[in-house]
Amino acid sequence: MKHIIFSLSLAACCASVHADVIGFDDLASSETAVIADGYAGFNWTGVGVIGADAYPDSGFANGVVSVANVAFNHGGGTVTISNAAGFDFIGAFFTSAWYEQELAFEGSRAGQLLFATDVSYGIDTVTPQWIELGWRGIDTLTIYNSSGTQWAMDAFTASATAPNTVPEPGTLALCGIAAAGCLAARRRRPLQRA
């Protein structure tokens, strides 16, 4: 219930693009299973779900923003998240599971690279880092990491709006700021576990 409230509050922040926030809390924690294609409308390659209590004091535990679970990159590798219908990737919280490391991202559509980061995003094992990209109209998001070790992802926030809808450039940014504000408030006052 609290997850829903949280998602709704974030959606309210970003109502203009109908952002969905995926918290992975309705999936079972598993070190070995990967997220099934179709979950929340996306195909997930190399992504699993793990509970905060699996490794106390790790970035998995510290990286939980919504309720109890985080997504993670299986085996410490590169992952892709895709939706053939296209989506706008707003951002997500990332925490490194074991060692300080960096992330880089690419967004593509129909195999064509549309976006790529040119600087890395540093993440540590203690504090979830909100990384906001606001990439519109992609069908595949690729997440690279510098050390080949695991990271945690929570509050994966993407818009399901049609890719041909062109938001005003500032709209997504404002949305992102709002989302960050909502999530920051969330981080300052953690929810009790459901």
Partner 1 sequence: MLPLFAAAQAAPTPIVFQNAAVHDPSVIKVDDMFYVFGSHLAAAKSRDLMKWQQVSDGVTASNPLFLNGASNVFTELAETFSWAQSSTLWAGDVKRMPDGKFYMYYNACKGDSPRSALGIAVANNIEGPYVDKGIILKSGMWGQPSHDGTIYDALKHPNAVDPHVFSDRAGKLWMVYGSYSGGIFILALNPSTGMPLPGQGYGKRLMGGNHARIEGAYVMYSPATSHYYLFTSFGGLDSTGGYNMRVARSLNPDGPYVDAQGNDMAAVRSDPTKPLFDDASIAPYGVKLMGSFLFERSLGDTGTGIGTGYVSPGHNSAYVDPASGKHFLIFHARFPERGEQHEIRTHQLFMNAEGWPVVAPRRYAGETLGAVRREFVQGDYMLVNHGKDISATIKKSQPIALNADGTITGAVGGSWLLTGSNGIEIRLPGASPYKGVFINGWDETAKSPAMTFSAVSREGISLFGSRLPPRTEAQVVNAVAAELSLGNTSAVTANLALPTRGTRGAVITWTSSNPAVISNTGVLTSPASGDVNVTLTARIAKGNTVVTKTFAVTVRKAGGLLAHYTFDGNLADANGIFGAGSVTGNRIDAPGGSIAFEAGVKGRAAVFDGASGVRLPNGLIASQNYSVALWLKPAALTAFSTTFFGARTTESWVSLLPMGHGGVGGASMLWSGTAWYDAGLGMTIPVGRWSHLAFTVRNGAVNVYVDGSKRFSGAGFPNVFTGTSGVFALGVNWWDVPYRGAMDDLRIYGSALSDADIAALVRQ
Report CA dihedral (188, 191, 193, 194) to the nearest 10 degrees.
Answer: -160
- Which part of the chain contacts partner 1 (CB under 8 A), choosing from 16-24, 70-78, 160-168, 185-193? 70-78
Nearest to 136 by CA among 188, 171, 179, 98: 171
| Per-residue tokens: 132 | 């906001």
Q: If binding is defined by CB under 8 A, does position 54 make contact with partner 1?
A: yes
Q: How far apart are CA 151 and CA 47, in angstroms?
A: 10
CB 52 to partner 1: min, Å: 12
Residues 6+ positions from 133 with CB-CB distance below 8 Å = 89, 90, 91, 105, 107, 115, 117
Fill in the per-residue mask, 85 to 124: x = in contact with partner 1 (CB under 8 A), - = not in contact: ------------xxxxxx-x------------xxxx-x--
In terms of CB distance, is 9 or 149 closer to partner 1?
Answer: 149
Name the one range near partner 1 by CB under 8 A: 6-14, 19-27, 55-63, 154-162: 55-63
DSSP 12: H
Q: Where are the beta strands (DSSP E) in 25-150?
A: 43-45, 47-51, 69-73, 79-96, 101-109, 112-116, 121-123, 129-145
Closest contact distance (angstroms) between CB of 62 and partner 1 is: 15
- In the bound state with partner 1, the residue whose beta carbon lies nearer, of 9 and 146, is 146
Q: Which is nearer to partner 1, 77 or 163 (CB)?
A: 77
Nearer to partner 1, 42 or 151 (CB): 151
- Sites of contact with partner 1 (CB under 8 A): 31-32, 48, 50, 54-55, 58, 60, 72, 74-78, 97-102, 104, 117-120, 122, 144-150
